[in-house]
Amino acid sequence: MSMTRRGGEPGTSRPRAFLRAAGGGGRRGRLLAGLGAVTAGLLALHRFVPNTPGRLGSLLETFLLWLGPAAALLLLCAALRRARTALVVLLVPVAVWAVSFGPLLLPAPPPGPRELTVAQHNVADDNADPAGTARALAGSGADLIALQELVDPALAVYRRELASRYPHHSVRGTVGLWSRHPLTGARALDIKPADVTEPWRRALRAEVRTPYGEVAAYVVHLPSVRLGPGGLASARRDESAARLGRILAAERSGRVILAGDLNGTLDDRGLAPLTSRLAAPGRGLALSYPAALPVARIDQVLARGGRLPSIRALPGTGSDHLPVLARVALDETP
C-alpha cells in the first residue's frame, strides 16, 4: 500500500524530497552543479574577489583551504543522487584544489645537506605553563626557536629553561630568538602601524653564524585581525606587513629566514609584501590556530636563499597557538 501527498509522488518521504530539490528530479544536479561552479571559481579566481567592503578577499583566502573538503562533500552528494552533470562539474573544483593544496599533503623529502630546523611559537602572554612550553620547544631539536608574546615574569622562565640547549638568544620587546649558533647584530625593527601610539616592539633581526654560513633571521609578530559585522579588520596587519616588506626589500643578505605569528595564511593577499619575496614550505599543512581546533596556519616560517622542504605542527602547549617546526635547506651559495 502506498500513500500519496498533495503535490508529491507516491511513497515520497521528506528527506528524499529534499535530495531531489538539491540534485535530482527533472533538474537533476542543477543546484549541485551550480555550487560546484561557484566553488571552482572561488578557488581559481580568489585574487579577483574585491577586498572592499570588509576585506572579503582576504577573508575568503584565510579559509581557502576548506573549499576543498566542501567540494568533496558536494561531489559525494552528486554521486549519491547519480547527478551526472553535477559530477562532471564538481570534478573541476576538486582538481583545482588538488593542484593548489595537494602537494602539501605529500610525504616530506628526506633531510639534505645544509639544513636548519626552525621552531615558531606564539607562547601567549597568559600561558600558565611557560616552563613546560620551553621544555617542549627544546625537545623539538630545533636549531632556532622564534617566540612571540614574551612578557614578564614568564620571560625569565624561558631564558632559564632554554639556556642549556640554546646558549645564544636575543629579545626585543615581546619577540625573541634562541639559537644553538652564535648571534650577532641583533636589533629591533620598526614595523609599528602609524596609529599605534603606545610602546610597541614586535620585530627583530639578528645574524646567525651557522655551520653553513651567515643567515639573517627575522622574528616578527604582526598585528591581530578581527572578524566582525563589518568583515575582516586587518588594516593594521596589512600596514605592518607592508613595512616589513620594505625592510626585506632592502635586506642585503642572500640567506634570510623569517619566523613569526603573521596573523594570516599564506594565501591572504595582505601578506603579499612578504610572500612575494620569500619562499614558503613545500610540504605540510601545519594548522596552528586555534590550538583547541586548528583551522588555519597563521604561524609561518619563510625563507630566501633556500628551500623549505616541510613544516609540521607540534603538540599543544599552554598557548592558544600550536608550535610549528620547519626545515630550511640553505642554498650552497647565497
pLDDT over 90 (residue 6): no
**169 assigned to some structural domain:** yes
Q: What is the pLDDT of residues 214-229, one digit of tens each?
A: 999 999 999 999 988 8
Question: DSSP character for 296?
Answer: B
- Alpha helices (H) along 119-234: 130-138, 154-162
- Same domain membership, residue 94 and residue 124: no
Assess whether 79 and 120 both reside in one domain. Answer: no
206 shares its domain with 304: yes
Q: What's the CA gap between 23 and 143, in Å, rounded?
A: 54
Measure the CA–CA gap between 116 and 311, rounded to whole angstroms.
Answer: 12
User: What was the pLDDT predicted at 28?
Assistant: 58
Residue 333 has pLDDT above 90, yes or no: no
Place of cell 593544496: 101
Q: DSSP class of residue 285?
A: -
Residue 60 in domain? yes
Calpha distance 136→261 (Å, rounded): 18
C-alpha cell at 302: 619563510
Q: Using CA atoms, how far apart are residues 115 and 139, in angstroms rounded to an integer?
A: 18
Under the banding of pLDDT at 50, 70 and 90, the label for residue 122 is very high
Percent of the chain's residues with pLDDT above 90: 86
Could you tell me if residue 2 is inside a domain?
A: no
pLDDT tens for 289-326 read: 999 999 999 999 999 999 999 999 999 999 999 999 99
Which of the listed residues 58, 87, 104 is the one where a domain comes to its end?
Answer: 104
Residues 118 and 99 in one domain: no
| Assigned C-alpha cell, 123 | 607562547
pTM of the complete model beyond 0.75: yes
Q: Which domain holds residue 95?
A: 14-104
Same domain? For 166 and 291 the reply is yes
**Span 16-31, pLDDT tens digits:** 554 454 444 446 589 9
DSSP reduced 3-state for 8 = coil
* pLDDT at 10 exceeding the cut of 90: no
Q: Is 4 exposed, middle or buried (0-12, 13-18, 19+ CB in 10 A)?
A: exposed
Residue 4 lies in a domain: no
Residue where one domain finishes, among candidates 73, 104, 135:
104
Residue 196 lies in a domain: yes
Residues 205 and 216 sit within 8 Å (Cβ to Cβ): yes
Go through the chain and tell me how many residues it has: 334
Same domain, 280 and 195: yes
Domain boundary (70, 104, 138) is at 104
* Mean pLDDT within 109-125: 96
Same domain as 74, residue 131: no
SS3 assignment, position 177: strand
Same domain, 150 and 31: no
